[in-house]
Structure 1
């Protein structure tokens, strides 16, 4: 009954002793299996530790409070909310097309008896640092109150106790050059604050923030800005609250009845049944897990292929051990052991190495994650909740190493068990026939996988089918490898002596050549697939790239604060970059002084181009807004989509594409049009879009529609009224057709703006440079812009820059290392198996370099065969995925075309690009490098060893 247990126990003891005897080979296989285990276990620990539990998350959001209360300024109207998300809400009353009520709610009515609150307000302000100005979050919260414990983590000093003290995050102190004890000044505020402490936000380690007492900084700043005719963004205010008994679901609904939403500790930890939540009953929130299932399937496929590659890499190493121990295995057979005992010994080696790899990888993963925890937290941007070790997950990852080791040892075990006792004891190789079934199965898998991938790319919309078919085809290539190695061997007759011997040796010993070639195949196939897909996507992105300026040009713009920072921004560019030409531009300003370019503040408006009715696209406009939109047939929509009037508007640097400037802007934009220059000199506007102009009685004009107050416009639209506007008509001219204007639509000369009584404020400038700015020059400019502070928009046009070059380089290096490693393993086995041949070469007087040359060619042959087959296998999945994307893009194009949503009637460009540079590097550099490395590490001595006793 216990015979199997005893035989396996003996087999494991022999395997352990054999692994310890050949430490170099054992360490190689152990490292090969343990490294992925280390990475996966470290990733699992990092992921689990970074995922906060509900209690930890609530502690960082609520501190010691029972709830966080939010007022959405809807005048106290009753709302319904998601119990765990205060920003997922809707009003109880259905207002339809009518506007929602506005105004603050009454917080006192929303609180239960005995409740206590703490105000938490946050807004942006520009603080003066040692380098200049820095846009920073200002948080007014009484951080010394016990209710805030857990929200802010004090690092040094203390939290503010008076209105002239602040604390700052460690990241702010780092980037600002200030320290605890420094004085802090705020732009536009004649008041000095002292930094009395530092802290960090556990969920935002890279946040620039200062903490002050409520009313200490934001209110004085708003009053100071208002005195200068400027406006401050209103702070975002919430309240932390505690109450006897906490905030239950019933209390949360009572607060909802007065227009407030809550994040409640009690409700988040113990949410009500979905049927008891009115918000869900109205909105029917829900989701689908289809995407998650697809992602899981793709992940499983990738993990399976990675295991296959490790098995293929480790398999030859186990074959080395089996061949070196064949005399020992022969003695087992001579003493009554049968084939299953020999298989158990070899598989036991896989178990021993697998267990050692699992232990080493898991322990190193734990240690590495623990040591690098601060680095990982800084990279993620938040503190771990704790060092979350989940034994079952780590055990599953470790079991993967054992399974991989066993799978890698199965083929060598079967091969070793098939040798006769006489062949094992005498060292004879015997006659080994290749399997005839395996190539047939491999061919069937390749064809079937190709058909599945083709189906997925041409019929189905699921990319998972393409991935699965490609994986099946790659497994078929692996199964075909022994037969393909034999086909490669037929070309040896035309080769010189050393490569002919190396190729003959590879063909004669397919048992250790095929796994190494398959391992190289798997590595190269993955690299070729990813690089082909990446190169194709890169070509698509390059074709879709739309520059905003001519190559090498620079633009700087400041759209807020009435343009008072524009002169400093213009000068910063001149001081930092090699500027040739400069063109200053202004923008139109509607409303009170200090309005930004979008007119968001109360009392601010905007000006936009009024396109003549004859030039408007019928698909986008209709005369009566209260009437239903006219219906067009699909044929009419396709025809209108090609109409120049229905071309999409180009993006621009300003909201409407309208700037005020002179002819120097045309030179910066590389627009050579003498007629446009003469028009600007004559006080005429220049339109870069023919749809904007109209001609009557030989006079060309462009019209601007003025909205005096955007807030009033929005209110009128909510009430169904037509907003009140005024029209300003300017004499204009149109640039010649085909001129590239980089998003600009209308250029108004300053004289025309003054004549039309249009208010203008400084906006920015455009520049040409004598050479593309260097990295050092850009850093200097960024520092100068940082000193200005605020919303300075800076752009240097460098043309399309591929983000995938480093990816392709990394993939090439990875494939090269794996290829050289796999080929090196095969070379080691080849040198062991070919020892008799090398002795024969020495005996017949072959030069000493023959041994080096033969070893180099043995390694190069394996690498070359693997690279060629891997390149063929890797192109399939990338082509399939690109064909799927092309079909999806064509379907979207036809749908948009039928709906009249497509302004540019061109087919989507989804190219398939083969990265010939990467393939050339793999096909030439990798085999050559592997061969030279193997030749360099091989000894060339010709000494003959004593004949082994038989």
Structure 2
């Protein structure tokens, strides 16, 4: 007697054999389902292997950062003891920034040598770098200039020599592959940094494994940076101060956490191999006692992006299930005679279900193996391309069998899930209906729409709750997913509502719409699949567009749009400013130019903030009663209670909505106001009459402004922040105060030349503001840069082009992706509809319908499915985007309020601007272009004629 277990086993073996043979017999339909199931497995398995291989282990990361050394040490620049995170990515002064007063740090005391922070006998290798422009075959290229003993064993793993050799003698350098590509040079070429008195021969090419796109050259120690700095200093150019870091090798157990803290006490930051491999507990990190750990944590930065990714991936898997489901349903109907024979020979409903489910299992298993193999193969073959795209080399192939196996299992589960509904429907067919080919009549499910409505309401409520929950984006993503599933459950009812529009349509679209409504079991999953694809795209597009609107709002322009500033460095370049102005007018489409000068205290070559002997500066001094008490008290904000700080922040003296000051005092005429778009008639009249114009009301009292001439800047800097007035001679100037609505673009005071002369002051040429007639081309920018370089002058050219966001490209890519997926989904649904409705099409041909009716009907079938899916998906995709933006708004507002309470923020009380903006252009393209394209494509690929149906045998 056969046991139940053996009977179950043999029945499933038979079902699998039947499913395998049926899949082989219907190769076209099987290939379609196989492609749908395998495609995401290809992408996910390839992405898993790529990301895991690109994700370096701690040891691999350290090898690239510190080579074979035990630590990399650098100075913090705070001139005092600090505390750092174990990975040295962040640090703060001891006691936190709240108690930190930069003016009290001893800048005159030279920093202690790095060797003092480590035991005697430690091996220390200096690694210095700076940035400068290098002459290339195309012009000038901003390049990282580096000095390092590349022959030292401590450097192993930091760079990879590709060809040539390492530099050994002065005058030799090695260059990165990216530098050679961008500069037009090759191994054997000579390269000359701008300002250098001699050239350097490139003897080798290398790459930095974790930054393949870096433009960099390396020379032996003491042969590049120091000579370049001396040459620039001798030529009167800007000072060149490289940054020094040190590779340290101490042996033994390496640089321990105690050694790191000892180095922090000397103002040094340390990346330690021993600490990175074995981090200390949070309780042993002094920094976390002064500042909250969350302030230095990066885990929450990608929470929203992770939620969006999870939502899109989930909807993509749902789409596959929904697309594969109709394919299995059509396959079951095409095989209904075979299933009827099973029932006629004693098979019961569970046997029918097992046969259809076995089809999903077989195709899912094949898709799992095929997709995983193809994904891994593509990753291996495309590794160089992937590394170039990511910008870093893999640490090696990191195969994770459990992850790859889980991804492959996803295809099997998806196949089974897609076959569940067709299996249940096939098992409900009577044997007579299956053998005769009748489909029978099924009542519409009235429970499913109710469940769908409940799911939509509950999901929306959960998503909205997530905007106020601490879990934030995770709850929003979960609620959005539930709501999406609810809309999917409502799809059959919604399809029926669309069917009511058929009475106003011509013949072909009316037939297509009625066929879609009559066969909701086939249409609803296809519409839901398109809905899922579009919903994910709309969610991401809405989030990206809203973020782009926020970035555009937060963008602070340096100048009015279409204007620019050409300014020379102050160190001796004032003599060349007239020539620079002529070059500007010659090479650029200048519509208007306003020449400006700067005030000089001492020699004309003195810089504004110079502390050299014989040089001073001019500073605007606000009346004492109009200064903000929060910043004037020597004890800082700790001298006030929280209530006092809150009250003072509302004081007009502590509020400043003006942009950061770039040029406190400029000398110029009314043309400057015209270019800066200051249209106040009073300001223009004042400059014409020789009266100064001020833009900060806190600096003006009774129509006058105090300009303090400081002749000893060192003494003034030492007294700054002490609460006492800085020494100097005061010049009282009558000024006109511009209205608060006037934007000064970083200028506090504009002095006309006559006012400068009347005050007994001296000015020197600085540069020119200008407004362009149109826009400046890349060729014009390169040409003027070349002219400035030939003059040997240090000058900066800025042109305000406004906010340059790239989200428009992201939105375009998303729209194209949604279009392709939607057209593909609609095409698949149309193909299934044609296979399922072949008898109806042959009947049309038999009753004399024109051949084009078949083609037109196919096009409208595809267009109807696309249109319904796109409309519903566009509406459904808004919810997760709105929820995620509201979550981000709450988090930013909480962070802002916390910063206000702690005294870290600026004096303004304005809350962060986090808008919700719908990308109507993208939605319009989806609703109009995608269904139209899908309909035209389906019509073009459909044959206009078909064979007449033969009479079925009795």
* TM-score class, shorter: 0.7 to 0.9
1 CA distance for matches of 2:291 and 2:678? Answer: 55
Q: Could you list the per-position Cα deviations for residues 70-126 of structure 1 after superposition, in whole angstroms to 9, with x for gaps in the alignment?
A: 456899x98876665397587799998763684243555555455443332223344
TM-score by length of 2: 0.87
2 CA distance for matches of 1:261 and 1:635? Answer: 36
2 CA distance for matches of 1:817 and 1:437? Answer: 34
Q: Could you list the per-position Cα deviations for residues 856-915 of structure 1 after superposition, in whole angstroms to 9, with x for gaps in the alignment?
A: 222222222222322332333334444555666777888999999787787876554444
- Find the counterpart in structure 1 of residue 953 from structure 2: 949
2 CA distance for matches of 1:117 and 1:364? Answer: 48
Choose from 191, 199, 203 the match for 1:196: 203
Q: Could you list the per-position Cα deviations for residues 721-764 of structure 1 after superposition, in whole angstroms to 9, with x for gaps in the alignment?
A: 66545533334333466444444332223444455455545433
Structure 1 residues 855 and 291 mapped into 2: Cα distance closer, same or farther (>3 Å)? same
- Find the counterpart in structure 1 of residue 483 from structure 2: 473
Choose from 99, 110, 115 the match for 2:105: 99
Structure 1 residues 65 and 821 mapped into 2: Cα distance closer, same or farther (>3 Å)? closer
- Find the counterpart in structure 2 of residue 830 from structure 1: 833
Choose from 815, 818, 825 the match for 1:815: 818
Asked if the contact 1:552/1:797 (under 8 Å) is kept, the reply is yes
Mapped pair 1:850 → 2:853: yes
2 CA distance for matches of 1:851 and 1:57? Answer: 62
Choose from 185, 190, 201 the match for 1:183: 190
1:788 deviates by 8.1
Partner SS state of residue 198, structure 2: strand
- Find the counterpart in structure 1 of residue 590 from structure 2: 579
| Paired residues for 1:40-79 under 5 Å | 40-70=44-74
Asked if the contact 1:206/1:381 (under 8 Å) is kept, the reply is yes
Q: Could you list the per-position Cα deviations for residues 598-620 of structure 1 after superposition, in whole angstroms to 9, with x for gaps in the alignment?
A: 65999987544323345556776
Structure 1 residues 24 and 208 mapped into 2: Cα distance closer, same or farther (>3 Å)? same
Choose from 918, 923, 927 the match for 1:923: 927
Mapped pair 1:861 → 2:864: yes
User: Which sits farther off after the overlay, 655-664 or 41-50?
Assistant: 655-664
Structure 1 residues 166 and 578 mapped into 2: Cα distance closer, same or farther (>3 Å)? same
Partner SS state of residue 735, structure 2: strand
User: Which sits farther off after the overlay, 852-861 or 538-547?
Assistant: 538-547
Gapped runs of 5+ residues in structure 2? none
- Find the counterpart in structure 1 of residue 533 from structure 2: 523
- Find the counterpart in structure 2 of residue 159 from structure 1: 166
Asked if the contact 1:105/1:258 (under 8 Å) is kept, the reply is no
Mapped pair 1:611 → 2:622: yes
- Find the counterpart in structure 2 of residue 374 from structure 1: 384
Structure 1 residues 726 and 306 mapped into 2: Cα distance closer, same or farther (>3 Å)? farther
Gapped runs of 5+ residues in structure 1? none
Partner SS state of residue 493, structure 2: helix
- Find the counterpart in structure 1 of residue 35 from structure 2: 31
Partner SS state of residue 155, structure 1: strand
1:13 deviates by 2.8
2 CA distance for matches of 1:397 and 1:829? Answer: 28
- Find the counterpart in structure 1 of residue 775 from structure 2: 772
Partner SS state of residue 850, structure 2: coil
Asked if the contact 1:579/1:770 (under 8 Å) is kept, the reply is yes
Partner SS state of residue 940, structure 1: coil
- Find the counterpart in structure 1 of residue 12 from structure 2: 8
2 CA distance for matches of 1:390 and 1:461? Answer: 29
Structure 1 residues 175 and 740 mapped into 2: Cα distance closer, same or farther (>3 Å)? same
User: Which sits farther off after the overlay, 304-313 or 264-273?
Assistant: 264-273
2 CA distance for matches of 1:43 and 1:219? Answer: 46
Asked if the contact 1:86/1:263 (under 8 Å) is kept, the reply is no
TM-score by length of 1: 0.87
User: Which sits farther off after the overlay, 793-802 or 141-150?
Assistant: 793-802
Choose from 122, 143, 152 the match for 2:150: 143
Partner SS state of residue 205, structure 2: strand
1:419 deviates by 1.6
Asked if the contact 1:457/1:880 (under 8 Å) is kept, the reply is yes
2 CA distance for matches of 1:258 and 1:620? Answer: 28
1 CA distance for matches of 2:365 and 2:578? Answer: 69
User: Which sits farther off after the overlay, 809-818 or 508-517?
Assistant: 809-818
Asked if the contact 2:631/2:637 (under 8 Å) is kept, the reply is no
Partner SS state of residue 747, structure 2: coil
1:40 deviates by 2.1
1:516 deviates by 0.7
Structure 1 residues 600 and 125 mapped into 2: Cα distance closer, same or farther (>3 Å)? farther
Choose from 620, 639, 645 the match for 1:628: 639
Asked if the contact 1:585/1:765 (under 8 Å) is kept, the reply is yes
Asked if the contact 1:611/1:693 (under 8 Å) is kept, the reply is yes
Structure 1 residues 327 and 553 mapped into 2: Cα distance closer, same or farther (>3 Å)? same
Asked if the contact 2:704/2:735 (under 8 Å) is kept, the reply is yes
Asked if the contact 2:78/2:93 (under 8 Å) is kept, the reply is no
Choose from 484, 494, 507 the match for 1:497: 507
User: Which sits farther off after the overlay, 313-322 or 189-198?
Assistant: 189-198
State how many pairs are aligned: 941
1:476 deviates by 0.8
Partner SS state of residue 562, structure 2: coil
